[in-house]
Amino acid sequence: MTFNLQAWQKLAARIDGESVARGSLEKPISISVTGNRFAKTETIANGANTTMYADELGDFNYLRIVSDFNMRVVFTDTASATFNMQLLGTGRANEYGLPFELGLDETSNSSTTINSVVAHNESGSSAKVDILVIE
């Protein structure tokens, strides 16, 4: 079964006295997905690692990961290359920060795909991480 996943995103800021806006709350971004999904929410102690995704679905068309505290996330592809990034949390328990989203699992080497996502908490507090992956 295939359906369209719709996501609404809007950014607005005043930078150096100038208004900057991107995205829309009226017009969603749509991508085609099959509907098989994997979801997981974990509370991770400071200094701990947790595998958030371990190729449970194989190839995917959408990934969203978010945390309430700053968190380092390591993506590993099928060729064992790693990609590190920082999730920006709010610094307040149970209030998620900016989400990180991907529309495909392909890496810069088109013959490899993401097959593992590990979260490492270096925030100084316990952190909640939520991931949603849709095939």
Give a yes or no: residue 102 inside a domain. Answer: yes
Give a yes or no: residue 82 inside a domain. Answer: yes
Q: What's the mean pLDDT in 61-87? A: 93
Give a yes or no: residue 89 inside a domain. Answer: yes
Give a yes or no: residue 2 inside a domain. Answer: no
Q: How many other CB atoms are found less than 10 A from the CB of residue 47?
A: 10
Domain CATH for 53: 2.60.120.1380
Residue 78 banded pLDDT, cuts 50, 70, 90: confident
Residue carrying structure tokens 């509907």: 35
d(CA 41, CA 64): 12
- What is the model's pLDDT at position 29? 84
Under 8 Å between Cβ of 37 and 135:
yes
DSSP secondary-structure letter at 68?
S
Instruction: Please calculate the CA angle 90-95-99 and round it to the nearest 5 degrees.
Output: 70
Residue 103 banded pLDDT, cuts 50, 70, 90: confident
Expressed as residue numbers, the domain containing 71 is 35-134
Give a yes or no: residue 64 inside a domain. Answer: yes
Per-residue pLDDT for 67 more than 90? yes
Give a yes or no: residue 1 inside a domain. Answer: no
Give a yes or no: residue 59 inside a domain. Answer: yes
Instruction: Work out how many domains the chain is built from and give that number.
Output: 1
Please give the C-alpha separations between residue 32 and each of 1, 36, 60, 62, 64, in angstroms, as whole numbers: 10, 12, 11, 9, 15
Give a yes or no: residue 13 inside a domain. Answer: no
Under 8 Å between Cβ of 134 and 5:
yes
- What is the model's pLDDT at position 131? 96
Least confident span in 21-25, 52-56, 98-102, 110-114: 110-114
Residue 109 banded pLDDT, cuts 50, 70, 90: low
Residue 118 tokens read as 């590990």
